[in-house]
Amino acid sequence: MNGQWMAWPDTLLGTDSHTTMINGLGVLGWGVGGIEAEAAMLGQPVSMLIPDVVGFKLSGKLREGITATDLVLTVTQMLRQHGVVGKFVEFYGDGLDTLPLADRATIANMAPEYGATCGFFPIDDVTLSYMRLSGRSEKQVALVEAYAKARACGASLAMSRSLPVPWRWI
């Protein structure tokens, strides 16, 4: 905009059942109906009530032989028991340090199965590494990192992951 870089890297609406996979990258995304999507493409606002947020703490690392599928099935079972229908789930904790992007995307993609509107992972070093791996320029990576730090009120990326401000924690 006027020669300045602008960043709105954190929101996505989609009509595909796999839209929630984007939440593994720190982009808030969820599925909408066809008419809502068409209206948005024509410049109309998409409105929704802000749902409750449930924090889900991941700690430690997966033991040898435990797969992302094992993890996502366990997470799904736990979230179903806690009742997260229509809510945003935000994953946080030191367990994110060893959770590869593919595993995050798998967990985020299962949001409809555990009933949530989305399962969100914050922007962190794993996200930035993926951006580099997928050919993004250092300027783009730096912009996303600066945005993430600013959104966390100046805290480091690690600090921004330590404790979300959810409605309740699991």
Q: What confidence tens digit (pLDDT) does each residue in 104-121 have?
A: 999 999 999 999 999 999
What distance in Å separates the CA atoms of residue 139 and residue 116, rounded to the nearest whole number? Answer: 34
**Domain total in the chain:** 1
User: How high is the mean pLDDT of the chain?
Assistant: 84
Give which of 118, 66, 50, 115 is closest to 89, Cα–Cα.
Answer: 118
* pLDDT at position 157: 47
Q: Is the pLDDT of residue 156 over 60?
A: no
> Span 147-159, mean pLDDT?
62
Collapse the DSSP code of 60 into the 3-class scheme (helix H, G, I; strand E, B; otherwise coil) and give the result. coil
* pLDDT at position 33: 84
Q: Which domain holds residue 134?
A: 13-169
In a domain, 158, yes or no: yes
Q: Who wins on pLDDT, 136 or 154?
A: 136
In a domain, 155, yes or no: yes
Q: How many helices (H) and strands (E) does the chain have?
A: 7, 6
* pLDDT at position 162: 54
Collapse the DSSP code of 117 into the 3-class scheme (helix H, G, I; strand E, B; otherwise coil) and give the result. coil
Q: Is the pLDDT of residue 134 over 70?
A: yes
Note the pLDDT tens digit of each residue in 20-41.
888 898 888 888 888 888 888 8
Q: Taking a C-beta distance cutoff of 8 angstroms, is the pair 23, 120 a contact?
A: yes
Q: Is the pLDDT of residue 166 over 60?
A: no
In a domain, 53, yes or no: yes
> Span 51-68, mean pLDDT?
91
Q: Who wins on pLDDT, 100 or 29?
A: 100
In a domain, 4, yes or no: no
CATH number at residue 75: 3.30.499.10
In a domain, 95, yes or no: yes
